[in-house]
Amino acid sequence: MQDQRIKVSDGATIACSVSNAGPDEPRLVLLHSLGMDRHFWAPVVAELAGDMNVLTLDCRGHGESDKPEGPYTSQRFAQDLREVLDAIGWPQAVVAGASMGGCVSLQFAADHPDRLLGLGLFDSTAWYGDSAPQDWEGRAKRALSEGLEPMVEFQLSRWFSEAFRAQSTPVLQSSVDTFLANDRQAFANTCHMLGAFDARAALSQIQVPTTVVVGEQDYATPLVMAQTIKDGIAQASLHVIDGARHLTPLEVPARVAHELRALIAQCQARA
């Protein structure tokens, strides 16, 4: 795994890691969810080790990447990814994301289709609904006024099934630690971005193999949102994971890796 820090066109620095399997192996980008960082994907990357080149990055405002003043936009996040791909010399890749990372992946598909070979959308949505601006504004205000610690119990109940939480795995504490390490203002800026996000009009323009995955118990981005994406993208397939909740790459990494392998095989067959 090679860690890099790449300066993008507006002056911000994006931290990323590249796992190199060789120049002839597939190239996969993995984008994390809100409040996490690139290490969110570590369990899935471990499952894929040696079989493909994998890029993970800290979206701006997260992890070791810069946290510039807002506003943040999904278009800027997608542009960051394009510029990181330029810097590491990847002309095209399969791009996959979870939750917020899925939103950024959709935006990347809309804005930079020439760089996209396939699309993986885990626990994601194309739009959070009519009340999204108010809902996300409330979360942003709470983060700024109270900090992130009062949100932890709520987040854990959304992220993971009761069965998974009962196991008290190290993943739980690691997720909490990463969440609490967030900069309050950057978190709020990202909440505003998600409240404004709407990629519904772009779905019909996406012309690459697409895998949509959702946990059966996900009530943050429930099945109806996944179904909307599947119905809107011509080459999309939908997979529901029994018993899982919102952060499937952490709760069931082997299953997520399986879906990513299948997506890449589909992309290779199409090439």
What pLDDT was estimated at residue 90? 98
SS (H, E, C) 154-167: HHHHHHCCHHHHHC
> Would you state the structure tokens that stand for residue 92, as one six-digit string?
């095209």
Q: What share of the chain is helix, strand, coil (3-state, %, to 5)?
A: 50, 20, 30
Domains of the chain with CATH codes = 2-127+198-270 (3.40.50.1820)
Mean pLDDT of 215-226: 98
Answering whether pTM is above 0.85, one says: yes
Q: Is the pLDDT of residue 49 over 90?
A: no
- Is-contact 230 236, C-beta < 8 A? yes
Mean pLDDT of 258-265: 98
> Would you state the structure tokens that stand for residue 89, as one six-digit string?
């010399």
Distance CA 75, CA 179 (A): 24
- Is-contact 107 178, C-beta < 8 A? no
Alpha-carbon torsion angle 27, 112, 211, 255, nearest 10: 40
The pLDDT tens digits for 157-202 are 999 999 999 998 999 999 999 999 999 999 999 999 999 999 999 9
Distance CA 102, CA 58 (A): 14
